[in-house]
Amino acid sequence: MTRSHLSYPVETTRQPANAAANAIIAPIVASFLLNARTMNAKNAQTERAVWLQAALTIRPDLVEAALELVDALLKQGRRDNATQLAAEIVDQNPQHASALWHLGYALQLAGRHADAIAFYERAHVIDADVPTLRNNLAVAYELCNREDQALALLE
């Protein structure tokens, strides 16, 4: 340590500011995400959404937390908000199969089955093993009078 022109010592071998900030922020975000999962287990979706939004305020790059927020919004019946958020996530992560699935699902819950198909198909090309993807896509095909595609997908 050396003395600065101020009256207190200045540490010359300190961590970079972002590493120090990470040491403080990481456990806070982890705690927020744990609280969100606890609220989900209690089916307290409004509280879950608040914890997820808090985590995303600090770390907006957490795609999985944002997708959990889409799920929380859907479980609250806030389809328009969920669809908008899912679309933003897809815009930022166009090759994220789960993000594409979430957008398709939000659209499908809003009764927009034809719109959902394009996102489900994109997700299927990227990762055909996304849970419920084939089933949801087949249902969307069926509801859009594309039975042959639905049957081919499920065979």
Read off the amino acid at residue 15. Q
pLDDT tens-place string over residues 36-79: 999 999 999 999 999 999 999 999 999 999 999 999 999 999 99
Residue 20: the pLDDT is 86
Residue with tokens 């456990």: 27
**pLDDT band with cut points at 50, 70 and 90 for residue 4:** very low
Give the angle 61-67-69 at the CA atoms, nearest 5°. 100
Evaluate whether 14 touches 6 at the Cβ level (below 8 Å).
no
Helix 113-126 crosses helix 97-109 at what angle (to 10 degrees)?
A: 160
Q: What is the average per-residue pLDDT within 13-21? A: 69
**What distance in Å separates the CA atoms of residue 62 and residue 70, rounded to the nearest whole number?**
13
- Which residue did the predictor score with more confidence, 30 or 155? 30
Q: Which CATH class is domain 63-155?
A: mainly alpha
- Residue ranges of domains in the chain: 1-60, 63-155
> Quick one: which of 29, 31, 20 has its CA closest to 60?
29
- Which residue did the predictor score with more confidence, 4 or 35? 35
> Quick one: which of 85, 21, 37, 101 has its CA closest to 52?
37
